[in-house]
């Protein structure tokens, strides 16, 4: 099964409190797409990425627009 895990954005101070409880309330599927996937000898686990918006932006865009405002040129050259 390919595809990316859907991101779920939380505040940094709430992240630890959300990771464990969300694993127990997520359904196995959403609109026909599996949310719990096992690989080889790994058990079924949710593949929802629980992160902060800043961490996600840095991992996907290489910059944190929340840390400082982007210039118009920086905004326009961000990868899609």
CA distance 55 to 52: 5
**Residue 26 burial by Cβ neighbours in a 10 Å radius (0-12, 13-18, 19+):** middle
pTM of the model: 0.65
pLDDT in tens, the chain (80 residues): 455 667 889 998 998 888 778 777 878 788 888 777 777 777 777 777 889 999 999 998 899 989 999 999 999 998 77
Strands 7-9 and 29-30: unpaired
């Amino acid at each position: 099964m390919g595809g990316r895990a859907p991101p779920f954005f939380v505040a940094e101070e709430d992240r630890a409190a959300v990771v464990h409880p969300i694993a127990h309330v997520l359904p196995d599927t959403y609109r026909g797409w599996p949310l719990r996937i096992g690989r080889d000898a790994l058990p079924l686990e949710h593949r929802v990425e629980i992160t902060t918006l800043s961490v996600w932006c840095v991992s996907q865009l290489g910059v944190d627009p929340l840390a400082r405002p982007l210039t118009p040129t920086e905004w326009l050259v961000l990868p899609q």
